[in-house]
Amino acid sequence: MLAVCVAASCSQSADGQLDPGVLASLEEQSVKVTVDRWQDDAGQILLRATFEPTESGLHLYDVDLPPTGVQGVGRPTRLAVIADPTATPNADLKPMPLLIDAFEEPLSIYPDSAVTLVLKSPLVEADNGSIEISITYMACYTDGGCKFPVEDRRFLITW
């Protein structure tokens, strides 16, 4: 299933209620992604993306995984602002190692649950703005088998 919306077109939840503040959403390869601006406890305005597997048993890969995975396996879970390549996201979960017999080093994955990335960029802090963002992820079953990667999916978001 592929569902994509940006700004006002993605403001409805599954029950038909409005989701205020959602700037973009994507549902593809058994993962739902929602993007919004968020103010933390220190008052900073951040860009936030939540990656939520829609099937049980799926995990996502660490934000620090190389862009093409390890020996082609996996893809990093990423949120990027195109005009600010120095902005790096932080995850709300700590990655854990996944041991695979064919690899010398373990792969770094998040637990089988939703993971939220937050990213600080001066381009996000303005009261009104528009930026291009990129989303990348890949979901796999811990007991084997993966969905196709979603790589560099770009959105122009406005608030």
Q: What is the pLDDT of residues 141-153, one digit of tens each?
A: 988 899 999 999 9
Q: In this model, does residue 35 exceed pLDDT 60?
A: yes
Q: In this model, does residue 8 exceed pLDDT 90?
A: no
Lookup: tokens for 15: 């029950």
Q: Which domains does the chain have, with CATH numbers?
A: 3-158 (2.60.40.1250)
Q: In this model, does residue 27 exceed pLDDT 60?
A: yes
- Which one-letter amino acid corresponds to residue 83? A
Give me the percent of the chain exceeding a pLDDT of 90: 72
Report the pLDDT averaged over residues 49-63: 97
Query: 121, 44 in Cβ contact below 8 A?
Result: no
Three-state SS sequence of 28-43:
ECCEEEEEEEEECCCC
- pLDDT tens for 70-120 read 888 899 999 999 999 999 999 999 999 998 888 888 889 999 999 999 999
Residue 3's Cβ-side half-sphere holds a number of Cα atoms within 13 Å equal to: 15
Residue 46's Cβ-side half-sphere holds a number of Cα atoms within 13 Å equal to: 21
- pLDDT tens for 63-78 read 999 999 888 889 999 9
Alpha carbons 2 and 16: distance in angstroms, whole number: 18
